[in-house]
A and B are shown apart, each in its own frame.
Chain A
Amino acid sequence: MQSPDEETLVERACRGDPDAFEELVVSYQSRAFRTAFVIAGDAADAEEAAQDAFVKAHRALGRFRSGEPFRPWLLTIVANEARNRRRSRGRRAALALRAADPGAPGEDPEAAALASERRERLLTAVQRLRDDDRDVLACRYFLDLSEEETAATLGITRGTVKSRTHRALGRLQEELE
Chain B
Amino acid sequence: MIDLELELRDLAAHLDVPMHPPLAGAVLVRITRARRRRRVLTLAVATGLAALAVALAVPGSRASLLRFFHIRGAAVRLVDKLPPLAGHRSLGIPIPLDRAPFRLLLPSGRRPARLYAGDGGYWLRYPGLLLFEFESGNGATLIKKAAVGTHVEYVRVGGEAGIWIGARHAVFLPGGPPVAAGHVLIWQHGVLTLRLEVAVGLDQALAIARSLR
Contact = CB atoms under 8 A, between A and B. Distances in A.
The answer on A and B forming one complex is yes
Interface string B33-54: 0100000000000000000000
B57 interface: no
A137 B9 CA distance: 10
Contacts of B15: 38, 95-98, 123, 142
Given A55-B34, A58-B31, A119 B10 contact: yes
Contacts of B10: 119
Contacts of A141: 5, 8-9, 11-12
A37 B19 CA distance: 11
**Residue in B7, B8, B18 whose Cβ sees the most chain A Cβ within 10 Å:** B8
Contact of B24 (A25, A38, A144): A25
B14 A119 contact: yes
B93 interface: no
A9 interface: no
Interface string A42-86: 010001001100110011000000000000000000000000000
B9 A26 contact: no
B11 A123 contact: yes
Nearest to B9: A141
Interface string B1-36: 100110111111011111011111011101110100
A58 B5 CA distance: 35
Contacts of B22: 29
Contacts of A47: 21, 23
A18 interface: yes
B20 A137 contact: no
A51 B16 contact: no
Contacts of A32: 20, 23
A122 B11 contact: yes
Contact of B26 (A30, A33, A51, A122): A51
B94 to A, nearest CB: 65
A92 B11 CA distance: 19
Given A51-B23, A137-B8, A169-B1, A22 B28 contact: yes
Interface in A78-129: 95-99, 101, 118-119, 122-123, 126
A38 B17 contact: yes
B16 to A, nearest CB: 4
A152 to B, nearest CB: 20
A137 B21 CA distance: 25
Contact of A37 (B7, B9, B17, B32): B17
A2 interface: no
A172 B26 CA distance: 39
B213 to A, nearest CB: 56
Contacts of A30: 20
B23 A54 contact: yes
A25 B28 contact: yes
A118 B7 contact: yes
Contacts of A98: 14-16
Contacts of B21: 33, 47
Interface of B: 1, 4-5, 7-12, 14-18, 20-24, 26-28, 30-32, 34
Closest 9 CB pairs of A and B: A33-B20, A141-B8, A29-B23, A25-B24, A142-B12, A54-B27, A98-B16, A96-B16, A30-B20
8 contacts: A29-B22, A50-B23, A51-B30, A55-B34, A96-B15, A142-B8, A142-B12, A169-B1
